[in-house]
Structure 1
Protein backbone atom coordinates (compact mmCIF):
# COMPACT_ATOMS: atom_id res chain seq x y z
CA UNK A 1 0.00 0.00 0.00
CA UNK A 2 1.46 3.37 -1.03
CA UNK A 3 0.49 7.03 -0.71
CA UNK A 4 -1.06 6.81 -4.17
CA UNK A 5 -3.67 4.41 -2.78
CA UNK A 6 -4.83 6.77 -0.04
CA UNK A 7 -7.56 8.44 -2.15
CA UNK A 8 -9.07 5.02 -2.86
CA UNK A 9 -8.91 4.05 0.80
CA UNK A 10 -10.56 7.29 1.90
CA UNK A 11 -13.20 7.02 -0.81
CA UNK A 12 -14.10 3.47 0.22
CA UNK A 13 -14.25 4.39 3.89
CA UNK A 14 -16.45 7.40 3.10
CA UNK A 15 -18.84 5.29 1.03
CA UNK A 16 -19.16 2.64 3.75
CA UNK A 17 -19.74 5.18 6.53
CA UNK A 18 -22.22 7.21 4.46
CA UNK A 19 -24.14 4.09 3.46
CA UNK A 20 -24.36 2.88 7.06
CA UNK A 21 -25.85 6.24 8.03
CA UNK A 22 -28.17 6.73 5.05
CA UNK A 23 -29.59 3.20 5.26
CA UNK A 24 -31.52 4.44 8.30
CA UNK A 25 -33.57 6.84 6.14
CA UNK A 26 -36.41 5.53 4.01
CA UNK A 27 -36.99 6.58 0.42
CA UNK A 28 -40.44 5.54 -0.63
CA UNK A 29 -41.81 2.13 0.29
CA UNK A 30 -39.01 -0.15 -0.88
CA UNK A 31 -35.71 1.72 -0.59
CA UNK A 32 -33.44 3.68 1.70
CA UNK A 33 -31.04 6.45 0.71
CA UNK A 34 -28.19 4.04 1.36
CA UNK A 35 -29.20 2.10 -1.75
CA UNK A 36 -27.83 4.98 -3.83
CA UNK A 37 -24.49 5.42 -2.06
CA UNK A 38 -23.43 1.84 -1.39
CA UNK A 39 -23.01 0.87 -5.10
CA UNK A 40 -20.28 3.52 -5.35
CA UNK A 41 -18.09 1.03 -3.47
CA UNK A 42 -17.94 -1.05 -6.66
CA UNK A 43 -16.82 2.01 -8.61
CA UNK A 44 -14.02 2.61 -6.11
CA UNK A 45 -12.92 -1.02 -6.29
CA UNK A 46 -12.96 -1.08 -10.10
CA UNK A 47 -10.99 2.16 -10.42
CA UNK A 48 -8.35 0.82 -8.02
CA UNK A 49 -8.24 -2.44 -9.95
CA UNK A 50 -7.81 -0.75 -13.33
CA UNK A 51 -5.21 1.77 -12.20
CA UNK A 52 -3.20 -0.20 -9.62
CA UNK A 53 -4.15 -3.87 -10.09
CA UNK A 54 -6.04 -6.52 -8.11
CA UNK A 55 -3.68 -6.53 -5.11
CA UNK A 56 -4.28 -2.91 -4.05
CA UNK A 57 -7.96 -3.29 -4.94
CA UNK A 58 -8.30 -6.21 -2.51
CA UNK A 59 -6.54 -4.22 0.22
CA UNK A 60 -9.01 -1.36 -0.23
CA UNK A 61 -11.85 -3.88 0.01
CA UNK A 62 -10.45 -5.28 3.28
CA UNK A 63 -10.18 -1.78 4.71
CA UNK A 64 -13.75 -1.06 3.64
CA UNK A 65 -14.85 -4.29 5.29
CA UNK A 66 -13.11 -3.31 8.53
CA UNK A 67 -14.80 0.10 8.51
CA UNK A 68 -18.14 -1.58 7.87
CA UNK A 69 -17.65 -3.95 10.80
CA UNK A 70 -16.89 -1.02 13.09
CA UNK A 71 -19.99 0.84 11.88
CA UNK A 72 -22.15 -2.25 12.42
CA UNK A 73 -20.79 -2.83 15.93
CA UNK A 74 -21.52 0.79 16.81
CA UNK A 75 -25.02 0.42 15.36
CA UNK A 76 -25.77 -2.61 17.53
CA UNK A 77 -25.17 -0.46 20.60
CA UNK A 78 -27.47 2.40 19.57
CA UNK A 79 -31.11 1.96 20.48
CA UNK A 80 -33.74 3.18 18.03
CA UNK A 81 -37.52 3.22 18.23
CA UNK A 82 -37.80 -0.52 17.57
CA UNK A 83 -34.57 -1.73 19.17
CA UNK A 84 -30.90 -1.57 18.08
CA UNK A 85 -30.29 0.36 14.86
CA UNK A 86 -28.33 -2.65 13.59
CA UNK A 87 -29.26 -6.21 14.56
CA UNK A 88 -26.68 -8.99 14.59
CA UNK A 89 -28.31 -10.57 11.54
CA UNK A 90 -28.02 -7.31 9.62
CA UNK A 91 -24.43 -6.89 10.76
CA UNK A 92 -23.56 -10.43 9.68
CA UNK A 93 -25.40 -10.11 6.37
CA UNK A 94 -23.83 -6.75 5.63
CA UNK A 95 -20.29 -7.87 6.33
CA UNK A 96 -20.59 -11.20 4.54
CA UNK A 97 -22.26 -9.61 1.51
CA UNK A 98 -19.72 -6.80 1.23
CA UNK A 99 -16.63 -8.98 1.51
CA UNK A 100 -17.91 -11.72 -0.81
CA UNK A 101 -19.29 -9.37 -3.46
CA UNK A 102 -16.31 -7.04 -3.51
CA UNK A 103 -13.70 -9.80 -3.73
CA UNK A 104 -15.76 -11.43 -6.48
CA UNK A 105 -15.82 -8.07 -8.27
CA UNK A 106 -12.03 -7.85 -8.06
CA UNK A 107 -11.57 -11.38 -9.43
CA UNK A 108 -13.99 -10.95 -12.34
CA UNK A 109 -12.57 -7.55 -13.25
CA UNK A 110 -9.04 -8.92 -13.30
CA UNK A 111 -10.10 -11.84 -15.51
CA UNK A 112 -11.72 -9.46 -18.02
CA UNK A 113 -9.29 -6.56 -17.83
CA UNK A 114 -7.83 -7.17 -21.31
CA UNK A 115 -11.21 -6.77 -23.04
CA UNK A 116 -12.93 -3.57 -24.09
CA UNK A 117 -12.70 -0.87 -21.41
CA UNK A 118 -16.33 -1.12 -20.28
CA UNK A 119 -16.54 -4.92 -20.17
CA UNK A 120 -14.63 -5.54 -16.92
CA UNK A 121 -16.27 -2.84 -14.76
CA UNK A 122 -19.76 -3.61 -16.05
CA UNK A 123 -19.59 -7.40 -15.73
CA UNK A 124 -17.81 -7.37 -12.37
CA UNK A 125 -20.21 -4.81 -10.90
CA UNK A 126 -23.32 -6.58 -12.16
CA UNK A 127 -22.22 -9.93 -10.73
CA UNK A 128 -20.90 -8.40 -7.53
CA UNK A 129 -24.02 -6.29 -6.96
CA UNK A 130 -26.33 -9.24 -7.55
CA UNK A 131 -24.32 -11.38 -5.14
CA UNK A 132 -24.31 -8.62 -2.54
CA UNK A 133 -28.09 -8.20 -2.67
CA UNK A 134 -28.78 -11.94 -2.53
CA UNK A 135 -26.50 -12.56 0.45
CA UNK A 136 -27.49 -9.52 2.50
CA UNK A 137 -31.26 -9.78 2.27
CA UNK A 138 -31.29 -13.55 2.70
CA UNK A 139 -29.05 -13.53 5.78
CA UNK A 140 -30.70 -10.46 7.31
CA UNK A 141 -34.39 -11.26 6.76
CA UNK A 142 -35.15 -14.76 5.43
CA UNK A 143 -37.42 -16.67 7.81
CA UNK A 144 -35.52 -19.96 7.55
CA UNK A 145 -32.43 -18.31 9.08
CA UNK A 146 -34.06 -17.12 12.30
CA UNK A 147 -31.74 -19.45 14.24
CA UNK A 148 -28.93 -16.96 13.62
CA UNK A 149 -30.54 -14.50 16.05
CA UNK A 150 -33.61 -16.08 17.68
CA UNK A 151 -34.37 -12.97 19.71
CA UNK A 152 -34.68 -10.80 16.63
CA UNK A 153 -38.25 -10.80 15.34
CA UNK A 154 -38.14 -10.47 11.55
CA UNK A 155 -41.68 -11.71 11.00
CA UNK A 156 -42.56 -8.33 9.49
CA UNK A 157 -40.12 -9.04 6.64
CA UNK A 158 -41.94 -12.27 5.87
CA UNK A 159 -45.32 -10.62 5.37
CA UNK A 160 -46.70 -11.70 2.00
CA UNK A 161 -47.36 -8.79 -0.35
CA UNK A 162 -47.41 -8.23 -4.13
CA UNK A 163 -43.87 -7.91 -5.51
CA UNK A 164 -43.08 -4.18 -5.48
CA UNK A 165 -46.80 -3.63 -5.04
CA UNK A 166 -47.75 -4.93 -8.47
CA UNK A 167 -46.34 -8.43 -9.00
CA UNK A 168 -46.98 -11.91 -7.58
CA UNK A 169 -47.26 -12.40 -3.84
CA UNK A 170 -43.85 -12.73 -2.16
CA UNK A 171 -42.37 -12.03 1.28
CA UNK A 172 -41.76 -8.33 1.88
CA UNK A 173 -38.00 -8.82 2.08
CA UNK A 174 -37.97 -10.13 -1.48
CA UNK A 175 -39.52 -6.88 -2.73
CA UNK A 176 -36.93 -4.93 -0.75
CA UNK A 177 -34.17 -7.03 -2.31
CA UNK A 178 -35.50 -6.63 -5.85
CA UNK A 179 -35.81 -2.85 -5.46
CA UNK A 180 -32.26 -2.66 -4.13
CA UNK A 181 -31.00 -4.88 -6.97
CA UNK A 182 -32.68 -2.76 -9.65
CA UNK A 183 -31.04 0.39 -8.28
CA UNK A 184 -27.66 -1.34 -8.34
CA UNK A 185 -28.14 -2.44 -11.94
CA UNK A 186 -29.03 1.10 -13.00
CA UNK A 187 -26.07 2.59 -11.14
CA UNK A 188 -23.73 -0.03 -12.64
CA UNK A 189 -24.49 1.45 -16.06
CA UNK A 190 -24.31 5.06 -14.90
CA UNK A 191 -21.00 4.41 -13.11
CA UNK A 192 -19.29 3.64 -16.42
CA UNK A 193 -19.10 7.38 -17.08
CA UNK A 194 -17.21 8.38 -13.91
CA UNK A 195 -15.16 5.17 -14.18
CA UNK A 196 -13.91 6.20 -17.62
CA UNK A 197 -13.21 9.77 -16.55
CA UNK A 198 -11.45 8.91 -13.27
CA UNK A 199 -9.34 6.15 -14.79
CA UNK A 200 -8.26 8.36 -17.72
CA UNK A 201 -7.30 11.15 -15.33
CA UNK A 202 -5.45 8.83 -12.96
CA UNK A 203 -3.52 7.11 -15.73
CA UNK A 204 -2.50 10.38 -17.38
CA UNK A 205 -1.49 11.78 -14.01
CA UNK A 206 0.70 8.75 -13.33
CA UNK A 207 2.28 9.06 -16.76
CA UNK A 208 3.15 12.72 -16.16
CA UNK A 209 4.46 11.98 -12.67
Structure 2
Protein backbone atom coordinates (compact mmCIF):
# COMPACT_ATOMS: atom_id res chain seq x y z
CA UNK A 1 0.00 0.00 0.00
CA UNK A 2 1.58 3.28 -1.11
CA UNK A 3 1.66 6.55 0.81
CA UNK A 4 -1.10 8.15 -1.27
CA UNK A 5 -3.49 5.28 -0.57
CA UNK A 6 -2.69 5.39 3.14
CA UNK A 7 -3.41 9.13 3.22
CA UNK A 8 -6.74 8.62 1.47
CA UNK A 9 -7.76 5.90 3.93
CA UNK A 10 -6.78 8.05 6.91
CA UNK A 11 -8.74 11.00 5.51
CA UNK A 12 -11.77 8.77 4.95
CA UNK A 13 -11.63 7.51 8.53
CA UNK A 14 -11.09 10.90 10.13
CA UNK A 15 -13.88 12.20 12.37
CA UNK A 16 -15.97 14.81 10.54
CA UNK A 17 -18.71 17.15 11.70
CA UNK A 18 -21.14 19.58 10.11
CA UNK A 19 -21.59 23.23 11.08
CA UNK A 20 -24.49 23.82 13.45
CA UNK A 21 -25.99 26.84 11.71
CA UNK A 22 -28.37 24.81 9.57
CA UNK A 23 -32.13 24.29 9.45
CA UNK A 24 -31.74 20.64 10.45
CA UNK A 25 -29.88 21.56 13.63
CA UNK A 26 -32.49 24.20 14.52
CA UNK A 27 -35.35 21.72 14.06
CA UNK A 28 -33.66 19.05 16.18
CA UNK A 29 -32.88 21.59 18.90
CA UNK A 30 -36.52 22.73 19.00
CA UNK A 31 -37.83 19.15 19.15
CA UNK A 32 -35.30 18.28 21.87
CA UNK A 33 -36.47 21.19 24.04
CA UNK A 34 -40.15 20.31 23.59
CA UNK A 35 -39.54 16.63 24.40
CA UNK A 36 -37.65 17.47 27.60
CA UNK A 37 -40.25 20.03 28.78
CA UNK A 38 -43.13 17.61 28.13
CA UNK A 39 -41.32 14.73 29.81
CA UNK A 40 -40.80 16.92 32.89
CA UNK A 41 -44.55 17.47 33.15
CA UNK A 42 -45.25 13.79 32.61
CA UNK A 43 -42.67 12.78 35.22
CA UNK A 44 -44.72 14.44 37.97
CA UNK A 45 -47.15 11.51 37.75
CA UNK A 46 -46.17 8.13 39.17
CA UNK A 47 -47.16 5.23 36.90
CA UNK A 48 -47.60 1.58 37.90
CA UNK A 49 -47.53 -1.31 35.41
CA UNK A 50 -48.07 -4.33 37.64
CA UNK A 51 -44.85 -4.58 39.72
CA UNK A 52 -43.04 -1.99 37.58
CA UNK A 53 -42.76 1.58 38.88
CA UNK A 54 -42.11 4.44 36.47
CA UNK A 55 -43.45 7.92 35.68
CA UNK A 56 -45.61 9.56 33.03
CA UNK A 57 -42.62 10.80 31.04
CA UNK A 58 -41.16 7.33 30.45
CA UNK A 59 -42.23 7.13 26.79
CA UNK A 60 -40.85 10.56 25.91
CA UNK A 61 -37.41 10.85 27.47
CA UNK A 62 -35.58 8.22 25.37
CA UNK A 63 -36.32 10.46 22.38
CA UNK A 64 -34.20 13.18 23.98
CA UNK A 65 -31.17 10.90 24.04
CA UNK A 66 -31.77 9.75 20.47
CA UNK A 67 -31.83 13.38 19.36
CA UNK A 68 -28.73 14.01 21.46
CA UNK A 69 -26.98 11.14 19.67
CA UNK A 70 -27.88 12.55 16.26
CA UNK A 71 -26.70 16.05 17.17
CA UNK A 72 -23.43 14.78 18.70
CA UNK A 73 -22.65 12.46 15.78
CA UNK A 74 -23.41 14.98 13.03
CA UNK A 75 -22.44 18.31 14.61
CA UNK A 76 -19.92 17.46 17.34
CA UNK A 77 -19.50 18.15 21.04
CA UNK A 78 -19.67 21.97 20.90
CA UNK A 79 -23.03 21.87 19.10
CA UNK A 80 -24.31 19.20 21.49
CA UNK A 81 -23.22 21.33 24.44
CA UNK A 82 -25.09 24.31 22.97
CA UNK A 83 -28.21 22.16 22.57
CA UNK A 84 -27.92 20.99 26.19
CA UNK A 85 -27.53 24.55 27.50
CA UNK A 86 -30.47 25.90 25.45
CA UNK A 87 -32.72 23.01 26.50
CA UNK A 88 -31.59 23.50 30.11
CA UNK A 89 -32.49 27.20 29.98
CA UNK A 90 -35.87 26.63 28.31
CA UNK A 91 -36.81 23.94 30.85
CA UNK A 92 -35.93 26.30 33.71
CA UNK A 93 -37.97 29.08 32.05
CA UNK A 94 -40.98 26.75 31.68
CA UNK A 95 -40.72 25.84 35.36
CA UNK A 96 -40.66 29.52 36.34
CA UNK A 97 -43.77 30.09 34.23
CA UNK A 98 -45.58 27.28 36.08
CA UNK A 99 -44.76 28.92 39.43
CA UNK A 100 -46.08 32.29 38.20
CA UNK A 101 -49.25 30.75 36.71
CA UNK A 102 -50.04 28.98 39.99
CA UNK A 103 -49.34 32.14 42.04
CA UNK A 104 -51.61 34.39 39.92
CA UNK A 105 -54.96 35.18 41.64
CA UNK A 106 -57.75 33.09 40.12
CA UNK A 107 -61.55 33.24 40.23
CA UNK A 108 -62.90 32.73 43.75
CA UNK A 109 -65.92 30.60 42.79
CA UNK A 110 -66.05 26.79 43.05
CA UNK A 111 -64.97 26.33 39.45
CA UNK A 112 -61.99 28.66 39.90
CA UNK A 113 -60.99 26.89 43.11
CA UNK A 114 -61.15 23.47 41.44
CA UNK A 115 -59.06 24.71 38.52
CA UNK A 116 -56.50 26.17 40.94
CA UNK A 117 -56.30 22.88 42.83
CA UNK A 118 -55.87 20.97 39.57
CA UNK A 119 -53.06 23.28 38.45
CA UNK A 120 -51.31 22.99 41.79
CA UNK A 121 -51.63 19.22 41.72
CA UNK A 122 -50.41 18.88 38.12
CA UNK A 123 -47.80 21.62 37.86
CA UNK A 124 -46.90 22.23 41.51
CA UNK A 125 -44.39 19.34 41.71
CA UNK A 126 -42.92 20.16 38.29
CA UNK A 127 -40.25 22.65 39.50
CA UNK A 128 -38.76 19.90 41.68
CA UNK A 129 -39.03 17.45 38.79
CA UNK A 130 -37.37 20.04 36.55
CA UNK A 131 -34.54 20.45 39.06
CA UNK A 132 -34.01 16.68 39.00
CA UNK A 133 -34.31 16.61 35.23
CA UNK A 134 -31.98 19.57 34.66
CA UNK A 135 -29.19 18.13 36.77
CA UNK A 136 -29.66 14.65 35.30
CA UNK A 137 -29.97 15.95 31.74
CA UNK A 138 -26.91 18.18 32.10
CA UNK A 139 -24.68 15.37 33.38
CA UNK A 140 -26.17 12.53 31.33
CA UNK A 141 -26.30 14.31 27.98
CA UNK A 142 -22.83 15.78 28.46
CA UNK A 143 -21.38 12.33 29.17
CA UNK A 144 -23.39 10.84 26.30
CA UNK A 145 -22.08 13.43 23.86
CA UNK A 146 -18.51 13.33 25.17
CA UNK A 147 -18.25 9.53 24.93
CA UNK A 148 -19.77 9.47 21.43
CA UNK A 149 -17.48 12.20 20.10
CA UNK A 150 -14.38 10.68 21.74
CA UNK A 151 -15.18 7.31 20.18
CA UNK A 152 -15.71 8.99 16.82
CA UNK A 153 -12.33 10.73 17.14
CA UNK A 154 -10.77 7.30 17.56
CA UNK A 155 -12.71 5.30 14.96
CA UNK A 156 -13.73 8.01 12.47
CA UNK A 157 -16.88 7.19 10.50
CA UNK A 158 -16.62 3.48 11.33
CA UNK A 159 -18.51 1.64 14.11
CA UNK A 160 -21.46 3.99 14.42
CA UNK A 161 -23.42 1.29 16.28
CA UNK A 162 -20.68 1.02 18.92
CA UNK A 163 -20.65 4.78 19.46
CA UNK A 164 -24.41 4.93 19.88
CA UNK A 165 -24.63 1.98 22.28
CA UNK A 166 -21.55 2.93 24.31
CA UNK A 167 -22.55 6.55 24.78
CA UNK A 168 -26.14 5.55 25.59
CA UNK A 169 -25.09 3.20 28.38
CA UNK A 170 -22.92 5.81 30.10
CA UNK A 171 -25.27 8.76 29.63
CA UNK A 172 -28.49 6.95 30.52
CA UNK A 173 -27.08 5.45 33.71
CA UNK A 174 -25.83 8.80 35.02
CA UNK A 175 -29.07 10.52 34.00
CA UNK A 176 -31.35 7.89 35.55
CA UNK A 177 -29.40 7.69 38.81
CA UNK A 178 -29.42 11.47 39.38
CA UNK A 179 -33.05 11.93 38.31
CA UNK A 180 -34.43 9.06 40.38
CA UNK A 181 -32.46 10.10 43.48
CA UNK A 182 -34.15 13.53 43.44
CA UNK A 183 -37.54 12.83 41.85
CA UNK A 184 -38.56 9.57 43.54
CA UNK A 185 -39.92 11.18 46.72
CA UNK A 186 -41.63 13.94 44.71
CA UNK A 187 -43.85 11.46 42.86
CA UNK A 188 -44.56 9.41 45.99
CA UNK A 189 -41.85 6.70 46.01
CA UNK A 190 -40.73 6.42 49.63
CA UNK A 191 -39.33 2.88 50.09
CA UNK A 192 -35.85 1.73 49.05
CA UNK A 193 -37.37 -1.19 47.13
CA UNK A 194 -39.59 1.19 45.20
CA UNK A 195 -36.64 3.46 44.49
CA UNK A 196 -34.54 0.53 43.25
CA UNK A 197 -37.42 -0.62 41.05
CA UNK A 198 -37.78 2.89 39.63
CA UNK A 199 -34.03 3.20 39.00
CA UNK A 200 -33.43 -0.21 37.43
CA UNK A 201 -36.52 -0.17 35.23
CA UNK A 202 -35.81 3.41 34.11
CA UNK A 203 -32.24 2.60 33.08
CA UNK A 204 -33.03 -0.72 31.39
CA UNK A 205 -36.11 0.62 29.62
CA UNK A 206 -34.45 3.75 28.24
CA UNK A 207 -31.36 1.86 27.16
CA UNK A 208 -33.41 -0.91 25.53
CA UNK A 209 -35.53 1.62 23.61
CA UNK A 210 -32.40 3.27 22.22
CA UNK A 211 -30.88 -0.09 21.27
CA UNK A 212 -34.10 -1.21 19.54
CA UNK A 213 -34.31 2.10 17.68
CA UNK A 214 -30.63 1.95 16.72
CA UNK A 215 -31.36 1.10 13.05
CA UNK A 216 -33.75 4.04 12.78
CA UNK A 217 -31.29 6.36 14.56
CA UNK A 218 -28.52 5.26 12.19
CA UNK A 219 -30.74 5.92 9.17
CA UNK A 220 -31.60 9.42 10.46
CA UNK A 221 -27.91 10.18 11.06
CA UNK A 222 -26.96 9.07 7.55
CA UNK A 223 -29.88 11.00 6.07
CA UNK A 224 -28.86 14.23 7.83
CA UNK A 225 -25.19 13.75 6.95
CA UNK A 226 -26.02 13.45 3.24
CA UNK A 227 -28.10 16.64 3.32
CA UNK A 228 -25.76 18.80 5.37
CA UNK A 229 -23.63 20.74 2.86
CA UNK A 230 -20.90 21.31 5.46
CA UNK A 231 -20.57 17.61 6.32
CA UNK A 232 -17.64 16.45 4.22
CA UNK A 233 -18.40 12.72 4.32
Using the size of structure 2 for normalisation, the TM-score is 0.70
- CA distance 1:208–1:102, change in 2 (3 Å): closer
Cα deviation per residue 1:59-101 (whole Å; 9 max; x = unaligned)? 111111112222333445544349823253x332221111011
Q: Does 1:80 align with 2:100?
A: no
- Match of residue 158 from structure 1: 190
- CA distance 1:101–1:179, change in 2 (3 Å): same
- Match of residue 123 from structure 1: 166
1:1-209 paired onto structure 2 within 5 Å: 1-4=20-23, 5-29=25-49, 30-76=53-99, 78=102, 79-81=119-121, 84-88=124-128, 90-113=129-152, 114=155, 115-141=158-184, 156-159=188-191, 170-206=192-228
- Match of residue 112 from structure 2: none
Pairwise CA distance, 1:158: 2.4
Bigger-Rg structure (1/2):
2
3-state secondary structure, aligned to 2:228 = helix
Task: Mark the runs of 5 or more structure 2 residues left unpaired by the alignment.
Answer: 1-19, 103-118
CA RMSD of aligned residues (A): 2.6
Higher relative contact order (CA closer than 8 Å, sequence separation 6+):
2
- CA distance 1:174–1:82, change in 2 (3 Å): farther
CA contact (8 A) 2:66 2:217 kept: yes
Task: Mark the runs of 5 or more structure 1 residues left unpaired by the alignment.
Answer: 143-153, 160-169
CA distance in 2, matches of 1:6, 1:41: 15
Query: What number of residue pairs does the alignment pair up?
Result: 187
Using the size of structure 1 for normalisation, the TM-score is 0.77
